[in-house]
Amino acid sequence: MALSALLATFLCTIVLPVLLLLVALKLWDVYAVRGRDPRCPCPLPPGSMGLPFIGETLQLILQRRKFLRMKRQKYGLIYRTHLFGRPTVRVSGAENVRQILLGEHRLVSVQWPASVRTILGSDTLSNVHGLQHKNKKKAILRAFSREALELYVPVIQEEVRAAVQDWLQRESCVLVYPEMKRLMFRIAMRILLGFQPEQIRTDEQQLVEAFEEMIKNLFSLPIDVPFSGLYRGLKARNFIHSKIEENIRKKVQDSDRGSQHRDALQQLIDSSRQSGEDFSLQAIKESATELLFGGHETTASTATSLVMFLGLNPEVVKRLRQELKEKEEQGLDLLSLDVQGLEQLKFAGCVIKETLRINPPVPGGFRVALKTFQLNGFQIPEGWNVIYSICDTHEVADLFPDREDFRPERFLAEPPADACRFQYIPFGGGSRMCVGKEFAKVLLKVFLVEVVSRCRWTLLNGPPTMKTGPTVYPVDNLPTKFSSCLD
């Protein structure tokens, strides 16, 4: 009798829940792939849909690059999954990505996860479509024109030089990644949003902490309850908006008095007024927050990767110094750079390109299928999310032999005429290519000139482990000892 009771208890407490879980998982898998379009003869991409409702979101958030690499190795360049509450197809490879990026408004449309849209806002450049996207992009591009970049270079050089001087004076090591985020944040606040240096000094600590909290929770489950990731992200976003609103109101007042500003935020304000629509303070705040994210988070990631790769490859640093010496002898003034002078630094540009190849700061982009279409023998059902992968596409590109090696000189040669241009896409592609790519190139090249011409450095932990969240960064923050190379 006791044995029967024990067996019944075992069945009820262990076997039955396991069976129910297995049945639930099977039902979920059947339900999740119900979206297959019977009108299309092609099968769904291979893959798995993960846990009920949650899908594989937690694995992605916790493992990031490791999870994505494992999925690609198991299923190939096109596979299905379930992320952020939606059935999703992840796409890699130049030809596959080309069809996605050039299929904007025809096959796919931009659609970031609900948490991103909620935190950044629906009126941002990355979320609007059609004429609204075209007008907003046009306004922002004016702030990244060559004329505007010429005005930005002295400010960038001033901020980078001050940061480098601080690193050289420290007895202890420098945690490079946090320092880069602060440096790029200050530059973005001044150049993109028109904040004055004294404003930044007053609010910098609070703004940096708020931005960290917002970015950390940008990709989270779309559940807005106290203490959830989305709740914390929105709270941080609201603080950032309050500070930006103060600056917007000041700019509007100054504009009414005839004062002229030359930053991206002013371009957005002017464009909003000239469109004939009602001035939307909320829309401007959302766009400014997006500019701040795009203008400092990605450049901080790449500048950190530059320090890392150059610290691991001293022969590249030697070649950079040789290029700077040659250009100085030809008349380039390193103490007062301009865009034309920066364009002469060809090898420095190759170092930045190679860094972006191996460690693109943004791993990919989000789209939604407007209709069912075929991609390399698989069907992409209408309404499913589509993620195109930048990092995976770089990793499998045939254009780059010895892909694991850091070899900037590979970019000195012209690519073969038949090479697909979508094998290298650090700034995305198509109509939604990054609007700030020229600004990023100028900023990173100024940073490279200042660091290489003034510093030697040693990575105290050697090659770091890299993670993505949402941009690429070293998990140990890259502790580094800087010393002057002028002594």
Residuewise pLDDT in 10s, the chain (487 residues): 566 666 666 556 665 565 555 555 555 555 555 567 788 889 999 999 888 878 888 888 777 778 888 899 999 999 999 988 889 999 999 999 999 999 988 999 988 888 888 888 877 888 788 778 888 888 788 888 898 899 899 999 999 999 999 999 998 899 999 999 999 999 998 888 888 887 787 778 888 889 889 988 888 878 888 888 899 999 999 999 998 888 888 887 776 665 565 677 887 777 777 766 656 788 888 888 888 887 788 999 999 999 999 999 999 999 999 999 999 999 999 989 999 999 999 999 999 999 999 999 988 999 999 999 999 999 999 999 999 999 999 999 988 989 899 999 999 987 776 667 899 999 998 888 888 899 999 999 999 999 999 999 999 999 999 888 778 999 999 999 999 987 6
Instruction: Give all domains of the chain, ordered by start, each with its CATH number.
Output: 28-484 (1.10.630.10)
**Assigned token pair, 26:** 């099977």
Element counts in the chain: helices (H) and strands (E): 19, 12
Q: Which helix (H) or strand (E) holds 451?
A: helix 437-454
**DSSP code at position 401:** S
Give the pLDDT confidence score for residue 248 in this predicted structure. Answer: 84
CA-based nearest residue to 306, from 362, 363, 348, 364: 348
| Structural contact between residues 379 and 40, judged by C-beta atoms closer than 8 angstroms | yes
Q: Which residue has the tokens 């499913």?
A: 384
Question: What's the DSSP call for residue 423?
Answer: G
Of residues 70, 175, 68, the one with CA closest to residue 475? 175
- Nearby residues of 6 by Cβ (< 8 Å), 6 or more positions away: none
Would you call 374 helix, strand, or coil by DSSP? Answer: strand
Across 320-359, b (16+ Cβ under 10 Å) vs e yields: beebbeebeeeebebeebebebbeebebbbbbbbbbbbbb
| 3-state SS class at 359 | coil
The Cα 344–Cα 213 span in angstroms is: 39
Tokens of 456: 């030697």
Characterize the bridge pairing of strands 86-91 and 385-389. parallel
- Say if residue 173 carries a ligand binding annotation: no
Residue matched to tokens 């200050």: 186
Distances from the Cα of 420 to the Cα of 66, 97, 170, 416, 435, angstroms: 27, 11, 46, 9, 22
**What are phi and psi for residue 462, nearest 5 degrees?**
70, -160
Task: Give me the sign of the Cα torsion angle 218, 221, 223, 228.
Answer: negative
Q: Name the residue type at position 237.
A: R
Alpha-carbon gap, residue 385 to 373, rounded angstroms = 13
Within a 10 A sphere around the Cβ of 213, how many other Cβ atoms? 18
* Dist CA 487 CA 480 (whole Å): 19
Place of tokens 């798995």: 48
Cβ contacts of residue 455 below 8 Å, gap of 6+? 164, 167, 168, 482, 483, 484, 485
- The helix/strand/coil state of 291 is helix
